[in-house]
Chains A and B, each alone.
Chain A
């Protein structure tokens, strides 16, 4: 590990995730602003429960649950990520320059997860928001089935930059938040409990800064994306289970 001013470089080669996280925690504690981890190969839980506002560059492919329970830092992955990056994340940002696996941003309560490529199944499942915390997941490519299932809050945007969005059963059990998908979405792809509405001007104004930030992070031209056609998917009801039960 070498330290130059507030920049710390960690060689992740062959290091188990626990000592790797210990090195990250120590660097954060010692005031590092930028941490670069090279040779990452499948280590899970990078940034697990980490606080502070350091920026961590990950080179290689991190394992599952990247940034789980994280509260503050920014993690930039220069490669693909495994499943559930941003799981139950509280605050901070995860930027993934490749693709990511299943359950991306699972139960995320705050912060942002930006994925340049595609994501797997169950993306944004059970994201939720609370007071000032509103989680944001933006996917550059496509998402698979069960996108935004049980979503209780937050904003989920899928841009479909690599071709059509393949997600089906979108928003089953959604009872809060919104899913915004570029282009039209066939009504047959929506699950029970989800409803599509046009993107109103005020919605576009609201999501524009997010799209610009995403475009900026990946060096894309923002304006065509900001002005594109979108489908907005919202809960048909905030109480999907009302009407299913009676009392004894």
Chain B
């Protein structure tokens, strides 16, 4: 034995006094932790992923879960993760893949920013009494308006306007493909965004026919693999998004393993069943910013200039310059995906080490666009690690027009952020295609929950705006005066363009 077995990550224990042997844990656990032996429920903790399905379904609260029941000798540098990655690679010699977002303990900038409120001199607004406008429009805004007065005295707009997306709340759901998540999960979110008057992304997996009823609220994605992309798909979407990069794995492509390409996914992606769906790292028709502008134009031309086109990039060091380049193309919005963005699977080294935080990326993009006088040419959508309405408000104050949420929407449907999406056994019916698991996710109930979440955050945003004496979300956009940095260093505050608390 050289390395031997590693200490278990989790320990599950059942309190025999509380347990009534109903076997719900056995039925619900897709990882095979539980089994029955006579009148006892036995556990194999090594199979546990901390998905909490058993805990959620146990009628007697008999199950307890402990993380790292037996740890290594603590060491600030040689963490458990560092040591276990070495054991893994020493055994396999391979690249480590991992799920969900960045798992390193970087400071969260959002948590070092505080919002403002009115006291005495400028009274706050009461959302009950005053209308607080949360509706916004995503897309290009004209530099100037040419208005002419007609005979009868009516004013007529002469400037041609580019199509915008009207969103009733600045919270949209980002791109999670059919394949990465189940159809029930997509349908649930599609219903929720339709109800909330907002939009969601298809991801790069095509548009399943079950989503056609919600297509006016879907943003169809065109990624480097061009899966599921044809003229019908482009025409169905309310907007089209070119995915250049993704915060969880900037600079590399994607790869849906053949095992996950079942008949239905094959039809939606338009690839043979069982074949690997490989998205190359770059789009092979985009090798420059001019080429990107050309694809934007090609998509607009295909849809007769009726649809807004978004471009999504990962937040990387020169995101601001790239965004300024995108703003000079006919693209209508740039999505900046921060390094905390989630994913079903990404090489761990990319997930944890490549890219920059969304807070800094959005602030620098907004600043660059304003400096160049082209902020009106493009909307900015922030994504990657938005956990609550406060993050939404802070992202907007740093310069975003709206945000995309991803993980938060999954959590609203039961996801416990266990990070095992890649195994395809999600016991919540979200990141799985196994029919018995998928049917656990009731699209009606789940859509209600996602809609509730968006509604609740929207209410909170209205309250936050009212308290700050602001009556429209557009007046919060880029409004650094309503933000202060708390325990942030000076250079970072310069990047964010915020002052420190007390100043």
Q: Is the CB of A248 within 8 A of B278?
A: no
Q: How far is the CB of B233 from chain A (nearest CB, A)?
A: 9
The reply to whether the CB of B408 lies closer than 8 angstroms to some CB of chain A is no
B226 interface neighbour in A17, A21, A126, Cβ under 8 Å = A126
The reply to whether the CB of A68 lies closer than 8 angstroms to some CB of chain B is yes
Bound CA–CA A18/B276 (angstroms): 37
In the complex, which range does the number of interface residues on chain A fall in? 35 or more
Q: Which of A218-248 contact B (CB under 8 A)?
A: 238-248
Tell me the count of chain B residues lying within 8 A, CB to CB, of chain A. 44
Contact residues of B: prevailing secondary structure: mixed
A149 interface neighbour in B266, B284, B304, Cβ under 8 Å = B284
Q: A103-B284, A128-B271 are in contact. Are A152 and B301 (CB under 8 A)?
A: no
A-facing mask of B257-280, CB < 8 A → 1, else 0? 110000000100011100110101
Bound CA–CA A153/B273 (angstroms): 13
A-facing mask of B63-92, CB < 8 A → 1, else 0? 000000000000000000000010011001
B-facing mask of A16-57, CB < 8 A → 1, else 0? 011001100100000000000000000011001101000000
Q: Is the CB of B285 within 8 A of A48?
A: no
Q: How far is the CB of A147 from chain B (nearest CB, A)?
A: 12
Q: Provide the residues of chain A in CB contact with B271, threshold 8 Å.
A: 128, 130, 152-153
In the complex formed, the residue of A with least CB distance to B85 is A248
Q: Is the CB of B230 within 8 A of A109?
A: yes
A248 interface neighbour in B97, B266, B294, B298, Cβ under 8 Å = B97
Q: Is the CB of A45 within 8 A of B301?
A: yes
Q: Provide the residues of chain B in CB contact with A18, threshold 8 Å.
A: 301, 305
Q: Is the CB of A246 within 8 A of B98?
A: no
Q: Which 10 A-B pairs have the closest CB atoms?
A: A49-B302, A246-B94, A248-B98, A107-B226, A246-B92, A130-B270, A49-B231, A48-B301, A90-B230, A45-B301
Q: Name 25 interchain pairs, CB-CB below 8 A, sorted by A.
A: A18-B301, A21-B301, A45-B297, A45-B301, A48-B301, A49-B234, A65-B285, A69-B230, A71-B230, A90-B230, A107-B285, A130-B272, A131-B272, A149-B280, A149-B284, A152-B275, A152-B278, A173-B280, A245-B95, A245-B96, A246-B88, A247-B97, A247-B98, A248-B88, A248-B99
20 new A-B contacts, CB < 8 A, other than A90-B231, A239-B257, are: A18-B301, A25-B304, A48-B302, A68-B298, A69-B230, A69-B298, A87-B285, A90-B230, A107-B229, A122-B284, A150-B278, A150-B284, A153-B271, A173-B280, A175-B276, A238-B276, A243-B94, A244-B95, A246-B92, A248-B99
Q: Which A residues have a C-beta under 8 Å from some C-beta of B?
A: 17-18, 21-22, 25, 44-45, 48-49, 51, 64-65, 68-71, 83-84, 87-88, 90, 103, 106-107, 109, 122, 125-126, 128-131, 133, 149-150, 152-153, 173, 175-176, 238-248
